[in-house]
Amino acid sequence: MVLEVLRIEEHIPSHFCLPGRPLSDRVAIARAFVAKAVSDMSTTRILLDRLACDIVLRRICG
């Protein structure tokens, strides 16, 4: 519900016209950090471990 209220996709550009390596999906990264804040995870390592084992969280983040 928090992600629906924030509508983070509207605030992050989805593509850039820069040469070089393609950028990671910034919307998915931003959604993951919102989930980190909402779930009260203290470190990014905890977020990464949770993303590795939690299928539902991975689908929510994209």
Residue 20 lies in a domain: no
Residue 2 lies in a domain: no
pLDDT at 50 over 80: yes
Percent of the chain surpassing pLDDT 70: 81
Residue 29 lies in a domain: yes
Residue 31 lies in a domain: yes
Residue 30 lies in a domain: yes
Residue 38 lies in a domain: yes
Residue-wise pLDDT tens digits, 4-25:
777 777 777 666 666 765 666 7
Cβ neighbourhood burial of 31 (10 Å; 0-12, 13-18, 19+): buried
Count of domains for the chain: 1
pTM: 0.71
Tokens of 33: 């950090």
* Residues spanned by the domain of 58: 25-62
Q: For the chain, what is the mean pLDDT?
A: 82
Reported residue count of the chain is 62
Tokens of 37: 């804040």
Angle at 52 between CA 49 and CA 56, to 5 degrees: 115
In this structure, are residues 58 and 51 in contact, taking their beta carbons and an 8 Å threshold? Answer: yes
Residue 8 lies in a domain: no
pLDDT at 40 over 70: yes
Residue 32 lies in a domain: yes
